Amino acid sequence: MIMKKILSNIFPAIPVAIVLGSMIFSHSCANTTTPPTGGPKDTIPPVITNMSPLPGAINVPRHKTKLYLEFNEYVTVKDPKSLFISPPLEKAPKFRLKGKGVLITFENDLDSCKTYSLDVTNAIGDNNEGNMFPGYTLVFSTGDRIDSMMVTGTVQDCNTLLPIKGATVMLYKDHADSAIFLRRPDAAVKTDDWGYFCLRNIQDTVYRMYAIIDENNNNMYEAENEKVAFIDTLVTPVNKVVDSLPELQKYDMKDTASCLARKSEYELNIFREKPSKQMIVNKERIGERTAYITFMAPYAQVDSIWIKGVPSENLITQFNIVRDSLEIWVNDPKEQPDTFFLNVKYMKTDTLGLLNSFTEEIKLIKSKKGLAAKTSKKDIKKEDTTAVFTLEAKPETVEQYGFVFEFKYPLVEDAFDSLTFRYLNPKQQEFKEKYTVTQDSLNLRKYIVRPNVEMLPGYEYFLKVPHRKFRDINGFYNDSTEVKVSLPNDDKLSSMSLVLANVNNKYIIDLLNEKKDKVLRSYVVDKDCTLPFPYLKAGKYSIRITEDLNRNGIVDTGNLLEHKQPEKVRFYKLEDGNMLIDIPEMMELEQNIDVAEMFR
C-alpha cells in the first residue's frame, strides 16, 4: 500500500495503467480448460509491486546504476535482448534475479543530465507457467529534469508493406550521413508485432530518423548484412508525453482494434541496400562451354571481356537485368581446354573507395564431373547429344504469356518458321494458324510464341517443334516435341478486371496470393487501360502496384547515402480498408483504381 501511494503521488496514471493492462492481458489469455490434476492453470501474468528508482526519478546516480523491478510472484527473464535501454549504451544491460524481482545493472557509466528509458516489453514472464508480463517502460534521469517529447510511427517491408517486428528505430541529433555507421543513436526503441514504435521522453530538438534490423545488436548500421529505412526530412517532435495516451500503453498484440487505433506519425519502409563496392565476387565453369561471373554491386561497368585463345566472335555473353551477373558461352563445338583464362576489364572499387578501370584475369577450371569420361551408354544423357529445350504453355496464363520456348544453350541456327501451330474446335475440326515469335529481351535463350488467333474455351491448341531444326553452341540439334493446351473450362472459376485510370508513369501491376509471397500474374503499364485476370480460383488475392520511376521494369531498392528511397509500393484497398479481395466462385468482378490517387 505504501508503494502504491508513492507511485500514485508521482505518476497517478501508472498504477491504474498497470492494473488495467494486467486485467486486459489476463482476460485475453483466459483459459477455461480444467487440467487433469493440480487445480486451475495460472493464466494471470506477473504484476509490478515495487520498483527502484521510482518512475520519473531525477538525479539518478550515473556510476554503478541499479534498476529493480519487483513482482507479485517469482519471475524469469525470457528474452534478455528485450531489456532495452534508450539511449543505447556500448554494452547491453545485465540482469540477475533477486527475490521476486529483476535487478538490472550496466557495465558503462550513464551520461550526465540525460533522460533514460528502460523498456521490458516481451522480456519477463512468471517462473511457473511462463505467462508474459505485458510490458513497461521505466523512465528516469541522471539530471534534474525529464525530457517530455515523443514521436510515433511504423516500420514495414518496402515490397510487401507487412509490419516488421523487432526493428530498431533510432534518432540522431548528429545529422551527418555517417552518424548511423559510426555511433549509437541519441534515442532508440524496438518495434512491436505491428511494426509500431513510440520513442518517448526524448529531447525537444531536431533529429534524423532511421530504422534497422540490427542483426548483431550493436545499435549501429552495417550495410553488408542489415536492412535499413530512413525518413527523408528532419524530424521534430510535436507531441508531449502524457501517460494516458493510447500510444504509450502496452497492449496485448492480439487486441487488433486497440493496436490499430494508435497514432502513427512516420512510416519507414525498410529495404536491403545493394552493395556499393564493386568487384568480382564469384565465378564458376559450369559446363564445357559455359561459365558465369558475379559482381558485388549492380550495374557493373564492363569495358571488354575475352578468353585467351578464343576468337572474340566465338564469345557470347549476357548480363542479367541489374547487371550483377554475367553468363558466358563459347560458341565452338570442339572440345575446350580444361582451364579458361578469362580477362575482364571493368570499373573496380579501389582501396580509396573510388571506381577505376582494372583488368582482372580469372581462371575458370572445368569441374571434375565435366571431365569424367562417358564410358558407357548409361553415362550418356540426353543433353550430351541433343539441343535441350523446354516448351511450356499453362492454361491459366497462355493468353497473356504465350508458349514459352527456352533452350539450355544459345542457338547458332534456328528455323522458327518450321514450327506448326494448329487447333481443334469443339467439333474436332482441325485448322492451322500463323504465329509470331519474339526473343525475350532479358534472356537470349528464351522465345515467346503467340498464335495469330484469339484463343477460345473448348478448343485444343497444339504447337509442334520438328526434328533437327535448331542447333546450339555445342553443335547439337533438337529432338521433336509437341505441346498441347486448352483454356480452363471449370465453371467455378472467376475473373477480375482492373480498370486503371490516371496512369501518369510506368507501373508494375502484380496479382498476389493471400500471403503476398507469390506473384500469380504481372503486367507493366504506362497508360490508362483495363487488365484482365481470368481463371481465378475462389480465394483471397491482393493487388500490388509499384511505381517504376526509372522505367526499367523491376522493383529497385533504395540507397541510404544517396538519399534514395526504394521505389514506392502500394496495395489496392477496398472501401473498408481491406487489402485482400475475396473472390467467390463463378464471379466476374471489376475494380476501378485511380493510380495517381494511390500514390499521392
pLDDT in tens, the chain (600 residues): 444 444 444 444 444 344 334 433 433 333 333 444 555 677 789 999 999 999 999 999 999 999 999 999 999 999 998 999 999 999 999 999 999 999 999 998 999 999 999 999 989 999 888 889 989 999 999 999 999 999 999 999 999 999 999 999 999 999 999 999 999 999 999 999 999 999 999 999 999 999 999 999 999 999 989 999 999 999 999 999 999 999 999 998 999 999 999 999 999 999 999 988 999 999 999 999 999 999 999 999 999 999 999 999 999 999 999 999 999 999 999 999 999 999 999 999 999 889 999 999 999 999 876 445 455 555 667 677 899 999 999 999 999 999 999 999 999 999 999 999 999 999 999 999 999 999 999 999 999 999 999 999 999 999 999 999 999 999 999 999 999 999 999 989 999 999 999 999 999 999 999 999 899 999 999 999 999 999 999 999 999 999 998 888 888 899 999 999 999 999 999 988 899 999 999 999 999 999 999 998
The CATH code that applies to domain 280-371 is 2.60.40
Contact (Cβ atoms closer than 8 angstroms) between residue 555 and residue 570:
no
Contact (Cβ atoms closer than 8 angstroms) between residue 472 and residue 409:
yes
pLDDT given at position 385? 87
Contact (Cβ atoms closer than 8 angstroms) between residue 211 and residue 182:
no
SS3 for 353-381, per residue? CCEEEEEEEEEEECCHHHHCCCCCHHHCC
Q: How many C-beta atoms lie closer than 10 Å to residue 397's C-beta?
A: 16
pLDDT given at position 29? 39
pLDDT given at position 128? 85
Residue 435 phi, psi dihedral angles, 5° rounding:
-150, 165
Contact (Cβ atoms closer than 8 angstroms) between residue 172 and residue 182:
no
* 28: enclosing H helix or E strand: helix 13-28
The CATH code that applies to domain 147-272 is 2.60.40.10
Distances (CA, A) of 264 to 229, 247, 261, 267: 16, 9, 9, 7
DSSP string covering 462-508:
EEEE-TT--EETTSPBPPPEEEEE-----TT-EEEEEEEE---S-EE
Q: Which residues pair with 189 in a beta bridge?
A: 169
pLDDT given at position 378? 59
Query: In Å, how far from its chain's centre is CA 309?
Result: 44
* Measured distance CA(257)–CA(94) in Å, rounded: 35
pLDDT given at position 353? 87
Contact (Cβ atoms closer than 8 angstroms) between residue 298 and residue 188:
no
Q: How many C-beta atoms lie closer than 10 Å to residue 120's C-beta?
A: 25
Contact (Cβ atoms closer than 8 angstroms) between residue 94 and residue 49:
no
Distances (CA, A) of 95 to 50, 53, 80, 105, 136: 17, 16, 8, 6, 16
- Fold topology of 494-598: Immunoglobulin-like (2.60.40)
Pairing relationship of beta strands 588-594 and 481-485 according to DSSP bridges: unpaired
Strand ranges of the sheet holding 446-451, from the earlier edge strand across to the other edge: 389-392, 403-407, 446-451, 435-439
Q: For 1-144, which CATH class? A: mainly beta
Non-local (6+) Cβ contacts of 117 within 8 A are 85, 86, 137, 138, 139, 189, 200, 201
- Closest by CA to 66, choosing from 156, 138, 16, is 138
* Measured distance CA(594)–CA(600) in Å, rounded: 10
Non-local (6+) Cβ contacts of 535 within 8 A are 395, 396, 487, 488, 490, 493, 495
The alpha-carbon radius of gyration of the chain (Å, integer) is 32
Non-local (6+) Cβ contacts of 342 within 8 A are 283, 291, 293, 305, 306, 307, 328, 361, 362, 363, 364
- Closest by CA to 125, choosing from 231, 45, 219, is 45
> End-to-end distance of the chain based on CA atoms, in angstroms?
55
* Measured distance CA(444)–CA(316) in Å, rounded: 10
Non-local (6+) Cβ contacts of 381 within 8 A are none
The CATH number corresponding to 382-485 among 2.40.170.20, 3.40.50.300, 2.60.40.1220, 3.20.20.140 equals 2.60.40.1220
- Decide: helix, strand or coil at residue 348: strand
Q: How many C-beta atoms lie closer than 10 Å to residue 102's C-beta?
A: 22
* Measured distance CA(151)–CA(172) in Å, rounded: 13
SS3 for 395-437, per residue? CCCHHHHCEEEEECCCEEECCHHHCEEEEECCCCCEEECCEEE
- Decide: helix, strand or coil at residue 524: strand
pLDDT given at position 451? 96
* Measured distance CA(513)–CA(495) in Å, rounded: 15
What residue segments make up the domains of the chain, in order of their start?
Answer: 1-144, 147-272, 280-371, 382-485, 494-598
Contact (Cβ atoms closer than 8 angstroms) between residue 235 and residue 226:
no
pLDDT given at position 42? 72
Q: Tell me the three cell numbers of residue 126.
A: 512468471
pLDDT given at position 369? 62
